[in-house]
A and B are shown apart, each in its own frame.
Chain A
Amino acid sequence: MTASFIRSDDFAAFVTAMIEAGPVYGPVAKRSRFAFARLETPEELRLDYDVSILPPKKLFFPPAQDLLQFDGAGFRAPVEPTEKVLLGVHFYDVKAIDQTDLLFSERNYDINYMAHRETTTIVAANIQTVSSRAFFASVGADVQPKGHDAFLSAIAGGYVLETLTERGEALLKFGAFQPATDAQLKEAAEVNAAALERCPEKLEHGTEAIAANVRAAFKNEEMWTAMAADCFSCGTCNTVCPTCYCFDVQDTWNVDQTSGQRTRYWDGCLTEDFAKCSLGEGACENFREERATRFRHRMMRKATYLNEKLGGPACVGCGRCSAGCTADIADPVRIINQIMAS
């Protein structure tokens, strides 16, 4: 598609015009951190954010999403997506969205995710501030993001917008864009390359070597038990992960006790009852009863199980789990580097 430039002075008007045309979501400040939220004004947009608390997948796969609504007379599926723009997504989160796009559409196409996804225009943005636990440069480095419609890079005096799809191209009408010069494109490429150099954490090995070694470590129970010794089974590492997509489904009644909804909620494989089955009469079987087995399952899933399907690891190096873990034991870099060194 095309590459355009917009001056810093014209950028607010561009965002305003998009907001006036329809919902726009982007990173905004939330106390000392950042979250993706619907923009009311262009001033709220914080393209200098390091990492959002929750990944942007929440727009397509909300923490709670009704699959069905029912009343005494029948039921309906409330799939009512709206056209929207998701602005300012870092490339690692685009890679994660690429994964959930595949996982929700393959085999059994999940309309509840896909309807919201297919009605979203994603504008990726360069990483201006690198978060303290990021390792996006060294994980699945050969996997390129592909699900975005346009890519915005902040350079001196303004922004370069490179469009990849018709949807991306359609955004140009909202701003005072002019064709980008070769020098501007070169600068955009440089700021993006520079962000990769600034990751504080780094995996020391490639995807295939890691996958093989992590898989081979499956039966090293002593190691997993030691790694998981301080795990609270809280599931924070799952909750903040952009590639986690497990869910629970629960029915709830409304106060009239006739109508209600069947809702899916984010769930996490680190929680104690995730793989627990009832056998009847109070008996149950928990297929991953020990913390170590749940801790191991997450790492297997991130580093090996899905690799063939995804073409790379199910981890994009955002560092959210590392930063979110109360006991600070969830960091994939530390876990993987320890396995590789053993």
Chain B
Amino acid sequence: MNHQCHWTEVENIFLPREATIVRSVQATPTETHFTLKMADGRPLEHEPGQIVELSLFGYGEIPIGIASSPTRKSTFDLVVRSVGRVSGAVGKLDKGESVYVRGPLGHGFDLTKLRGHDVLIVAGGIGLCPTRSLIQYILDRRDEFKRFVLFYGAREPGLQLFTDDLAKWRTAHDVEFYETVDKSDPSWSGNVGVITTLFPQVELKPETRAVICGPPIFYRFVIRELDMIGIPRENVFADLERRMKCGVGKCGHCQINDKYVCVDGPVFSFADVQALEEAF
């Protein structure tokens, strides 16, 4: 090997930065919505759809999609579902406390492919978190995009995320917002059914660019609907979830065939990943 020593001159990719919690909201019984600010004052400078590795010393690191747009510069949002060792510990934190982040990591949504077009975002469950980075971006730069349609499905009304946003989107004129729940309760008067039940409610053009993010099962059904509209698969962008342990394309856990989700994605054109047998 070429023995010019580079290691003394290169930044350590595993060193995290401190971020302070400026707001913490218990969004659902298991999910906490954090608004964070980098402790060193330097903004995160991410693209919509990128991830960070979020950590607490002694607990570990987890990959989380950034849930806010870079157009809202001074802070950024993460939603943490408390299901494991790290997320359980982070979920208990409050305003003023610190977490650590590495990132932004990976490739987000390719805005050059969305600008100037009709955009449909289909978000299932916690899939609304990473796509919210794009939703906010579109709303903040509304002139750069044409028609904007947003579908959101939650399992039940009490599990809806970003309820303040939802309230705004329901009455907003710059986004056509459709929502559904799999299972209703007495508080709910809206659509009931899986996310695909929203498709018959709106006419979409085959030229629409579609962004989809949800649980693993969701992709198979949503792509069928998009096919029926006639949206070519290279215009469908899927934000995938995997066990992105290192976030820098080394550890192997998020590999789908020869792709590393953490560096080649997490956003892929559907045309690029549909041939990968282990993608969906």
**Which residues of chain A have a CB within 8 Å of any CB of chain B?**
67-68, 70, 75, 77, 79, 81, 98, 101, 103-105, 107-112, 114-115, 117-119, 146-147, 149, 165-167, 218-219, 245-253, 260, 262, 264, 267, 269, 274-281, 285, 287-288, 293, 297, 300-301, 304-306
Q: Does B113 interact with chain A (Cβ within 8 Å)?
A: no
Q: A249-B246, A269-B252 are in contact. Are A107 and B263 (CB under 8 A)?
A: yes
**Chain B residues in 8 Å Cβ range of A146:** 1
Using Cβ atoms and an 8 Å threshold, which residues of chain A touch B61? 249, 251, 262
Q: Is B59 an interface residue (CB 8 A)?
A: yes
- State the Cβ distance, A310 to closest chain B Cβ, in Å: 11
Q: Would you call B93 an interface residue if the criterion is a C-beta within 8 Å of the partner chain's C-beta atoms? A: no
Residues of chain B in range 242-263 having any CB-CB distance to chain A below 8 Å: 242-243, 245-246, 248-258, 263
Question: CA separation between A279 and B243, bound complex, in Å?
Answer: 11
Q: Is the CB of A260 within 8 A of B250?
A: no
Surface stretch bound by A, among B7-15, B168-176, B204-212: B7-15
Kindly supply a per-residue 1/0 record for chain B positions 62-97, scoring 1 wherever the CB is within 8 Å of any chain A CB and 0 otherwise. Answer: 000000000000000000010110000000000000
Instruction: Give CA–CA (A140, B47) in the complex, Å.
Output: 40
Q: Which 10 residue pairs are nearest across A and B when measured between Cβ atoms?
A: A246-B252, A305-B258, A108-B248, A115-B7, A70-B57, A67-B14, A147-B1, A251-B60, A280-B83, A278-B83
Residues of A within 8 A of B83 (CB): 278-281
Which listed residue, B7, B59, B216, B256, touches A79 by the CB 8 Å rule? B7
CB distance from A79 to the nearest CB of B (A): 7
* Contact between chains at A70 and B58 (CB < 8 Å): yes
Contact assessment for B3 and A166 in the assembled complex, using a CB-CB cutoff below 8 Å: yes
Residue numbers in B under 8 Å from A306 (CB-CB): 258
Chain B nearest CB, measured from A325 CB (Å): 20
**A60 CB to nearest chain B CB (Å):** 11
Residue of B whose beta carbon sits closest to that of A70: B57
Tell me if A249 and B60 are in contact (CB < 8 A). yes
Does residue B277 face the partner (Cβ distance < 8 Å to A)?
Answer: yes
- B163 close to chain A: CB less than 8 A: no
User: Quick one: which of B5, B81, B242, B246 contacts A280, CB cutoff 8 A?
Assistant: B81
Expressed in whole angstroms, the Cα–Cα distance for A324 and B58 within the complex equals 34
CB closest chain-A residue, reference B250: A110
Is the CB–CB distance between A119 and B249 below 8 Å? no
A260 near B57: Cβ-Cβ < 8 Å: yes
Instruction: Please report the total number of B residues contacting A with Cβ < 8 Å.
Output: 46
Q: Do residues A68 and B252 form an inter-chain contact, with CB atoms below 8 A?
A: no
Q: Which residue of chain A has its CB nearest to the CB of B245? A: A249
State how many angstroms separate the Cβ of A64 from the closest Cβ of chain B: 14
Judge whether B179 is part of the interface by a CB distance below 8 angstroms: no
CB distance from A327 to the nearest CB of B (A): 23
B7 in contact with A111 (CB, 8 Å): yes
The answer to whether A112 touches B14 (Cβ under 8 A) is yes
B interface, over-half SS: loop
Q: Do the beta carbons of B59 and A251 come within 8 Å of each other?
A: yes
Q: How many residue pairs between the two chains, A and B, have CB atoms under 8 Å in the bound complex?
A: 142
Closest CB in chain A relative to B238 CB, distance in Å: 14
Secondary structure at the A interface, as helix, strand, loop or mixed, is mixed
One of A68, A246, A278 near B15 (C-beta < 8 A): A68
Q: Is B203 positioned at the interface, with any CB of A under 8 Å from its CB? A: no
Q: Which residue of A lies closest to B13 (CB)?
A: A108
B55 — which chain A residues lie within 8 A by C-beta? 251, 262
Rounded to whole angstroms, the CA-CA distance of A138 and B250 in the bound complex is 28
Asked if B215 lies at the interface with its beta carbon under 8 angstroms from chain A, I say: yes
Task: Tell me which of A117, A118, A269 has the highest count of chain B C-beta atoms within 10 A of its own C-beta.
Answer: A118
Q: A81-B7, A117-B1, A118-B3 are in contact. Are A108 and B249 (CB under 8 A)?
A: yes
Q: Contacts of A301 on B, CB cut-off 8 Å?
A: 255
Judging by beta carbons under 8 Å apart, are A262 and B60 in contact?
yes
**Nearest residue, chain A, Cβ from B60:** A251
In the complex, whether B241 has a CB less than 8 A from a CB of chain A is yes
By a CB distance below 8 angstroms, the chain A residues around B26 are none
Give the complex CA separation of A110 and B255 in angstroms: 18
Q: In the complex the two chains form, is B253's CB within 8 Å of A246's CB?
A: yes
A218 to chain B, nearest CB (A): 6
A226 to B174, CA, bound (A): 56
B242 in contact with A277 (CB, 8 Å)? yes
Contact B60 A109, beta carbon cutoff 8 Å? no
Q: Pick the most buried of A81, A247, A260: most chain B CB atoms within 10 A of its CB.
A: A247
Asked if B278 is at the interface (CB within 8 A of a chain A CB), the reply is yes
**Which of B60, B215, B248 is close to A279, meaning CB atoms less than 8 Å apart?**
B215
